[in-house]
Amino acid sequence: MQRRYLQSCAVVAIIPLLSACGAFGSKTPPPRCPEVLLLKHANSVTYFKPGPGRDITDVLATIAITDFRGECEYNRKRTSAKITLNVIFDVRRGPADRRKSADFRYFVAIPKFHPAPQGKSIFPLQAKFQGNQTRLNLIDEVRLEIPMPPRPKIDEYSIYMGIQLTPQQLEYNQSQANRTLRR
């Protein structure tokens, strides 16, 4: 009877040791993925035909980022994060367009790496309209690899995205946002 008791105690004593060994051998979960942010006044652009006109009849194209989806995974040593983004654009042909196409550029930037060239990438796209088509959706895929320190402050690695604008286009977007707010 006493022998069984010792065996039971031995088994009970081994369980915490085994679980402790498991705790030492288990890996901590990877850090969360960097946040992806769409810049408010850089999420769309309106292209006008050359000249002073800025009404609806002067519009060549309107392009907006309507959505994006992404995945991220860390390498085995967690020294880098691989991020895949699918960016979805709504492209509308304006009444002034005769070419049936719209060329535009968008960017993906990580301020942590500014001013290094890796801090921002600009991607050109072209939308081609067929026949009488006046609207289409484009999806572009971007792959990023971000080097990370062993214990990153993940908020420092936020990713910003938007349409590459001229100063005049940015001013137009801001004025349209203010105009909408005043109604």
Prior bond of 115 cis (ω within 30°): yes
Please tell me whether residue 63 adopts helix, strand or coil conformation.
Answer: strand
Parallel/antiparallel/unpaired status of strands 101-109 and 44-48: unpaired
Distance CA(95)–CA(141), nearest Å, equals 29
Parallel/antiparallel/unpaired status of strands 59-74 and 80-93: antiparallel
Residue 77's CB: how many other CB atoms inside 10 A? 8
Which pLDDT does position 139 carry in this prediction? 97
Instruction: Flag whether pLDDT at 182 surpasses 90.
Output: no
**95-121 residue pLDDT tens:** 999 999 999 999 999 999 988 888 999
Query: Which pTM value belongs to this model?
Result: 0.79
Instruction: Flag whether pLDDT at 15 surpasses 60.
Output: no
Q: What is the mean pLDDT of residues 74-101?
A: 95
End-to-end CA distance of the chain: 88
**148-181 residue pLDDT tens:** 887 888 889 999 999 999 999 999 999 988 775 5
DSSP annotation of 66 reads E
- Is the separation of the CB atoms in 106 and 141 below 8 Å? no
- Is the separation of the CB atoms in 107 and 38 below 8 Å? no
Q: Residue 146 — very low, low, confident or very high, per pLDDT cuts 50/70/90?
A: very high
- Is the separation of the CB atoms in 105 and 161 below 8 Å? no
